[in-house]
Amino acid sequence: MNKVFSAAQNGHVYRIDKFHVPEHARAEFLKRARATHDLLRKQPGFVRELLLEQVGGPGEFNIVTLVEWESDKAIEQAKEKVTAMHMQINFDPQELRARLGIRTDLGNYRLLDA
C-alpha cells in the first residue's frame, strides 16, 4: 500500500510551523526549537520530524518545522507537555518572537486524498 495513502487513512496530523528568523536571532531560535523537538520525539504518537532551512527560492519563511503525529489526541497531549516544559523553564515563545522579530505561520495539516 502507498505510504502516503496509508498515513491519510490512519488520520495522521502534521504540525507545520514556518518562521521568518532574522540572522541575529538564528542561534537563539534554533536552540529553543531543538530543545522543544527533543521533548516532542519522546511523546506518545510521535512519528517523525523535520527541521528545515531554506537554501534557495523566493519566500518569506526561512525555517520550517514539521512534526508528524499519529492522531489529534497525540498532538494535543504533546502540546500540553510543551506548555508545561515552557512554564518549568520560564520560557515564553511569544516574548521570544516579539523580542527577536520572528514572524510565524503555524498550523496543523492532514494529507489530501490521493
Domains detected in the chain: 14-109 (3.30.70.100)
Q: What is the pLDDT of residue 2?
A: 56
pLDDT at 26 over 80: yes
Mean pLDDT, range 70-90, rounded to an integer: 95
Question: 40: closest CA among 30, 53, 50?
Answer: 50
87's torsion region: left (phi>0), alpha (psi -120 to 50) or beta?
A: alpha
| pLDDT band with cut points at 50, 70 and 90 for residue 93 | very high
% of the chain exceeding 70 in pLDDT: 91
Mean pLDDT, range 23-37, rounded to an integer: 95
